[in-house]
Amino acid sequence: MIHIGNIIKKQFDAQGCSVSWLAKELCCDRTNIYSIFKRESIDTRLLKKISVILNHDFFKYYSHDINIKE
């Protein structure tokens, strides 16, 4: 199972961004950023915004997790 908040946090840390910067980019409060890092799932619209801001495709983690049987 994917914990998208952990994945976002790892990428965020790797880029050396600040919580204040990400909050400003997402037009939200700093506490919301910490909440995002704790989430196991996330709204796709928000995930798209975060993907664009951090220049990282977070959707790929979901597509790798899908096991389609034909």
- Could you tell me if residue 54 is inside a domain? yes
Residue 48 confidence (pLDDT): 98
Domain count for the chain:
1
Q: What is the CATH number of the domain that holds 13?
A: 1.10.260.40
**Cα distances (Å, whole numbers) of residue 53 to 15, 28, 32:** 11, 14, 16
Residue 53 confidence (pLDDT): 97
Q: In a 10 Å sphere around its CB, with 0-12 CB exposed, 13-18 middle and 19+ buried, how is residue 12 labelled?
A: buried
- Could you tell me if residue 63 is inside a domain? no
- Could you tell me if residue 48 is inside a domain? yes
Please tell me the pTM assigned to this model. 0.88
- Could you tell me if residue 70 is inside a domain? no
Residue 64 confidence (pLDDT): 75
54: amino acid identity, one letter: L
List the pLDDT tens digit at each of the 70 positions of the chain.
889 999 999 999 999 999 999 999 999 999 999 999 999 999 999 999 999 999 999 999 988 777 666 6
